[in-house]
Amino acid sequence: MHEKDDAESRFLYLAQRNKGNKFQYECPNCLCCFGIRQRVTLNKRHCPACGLEISVKEIDRQTKAEMPRGCLAIFDQLFEIFF
């Protein structure tokens, strides 16, 4: 699987786990949390609190850190299927 496809699937998985299908992004500068609907946009995105530009690279870094790993990931997926 390509790195881009993997990053997009991680983003969609985490967004679908939240209400409103938004990924909960945390600004690394001011720690403000807000929802993001799309991983990639045509225009530049900025934090509503501090104005820091949000890059796709930073979104990918956060999705990679938030993905469940190992047994917890398997349990989480099974829980979503059955409940």
Tens-place pLDDT, residues 35-72: 999 998 888 999 999 999 999 999 999 988 887 665 66
Domain span at residue 32 reads: 3-82
DSSP state of 52: P
What is the tally of structural domains in the chain? 1
Per-residue three-class SS string for 2-50: CHHHHHHHHHHHHHHCCHHHCEEEECCCCCCEEEECCCCCCCCEECCCC
- Rounded to an integer, the average pLDDT of 15-37 is 89
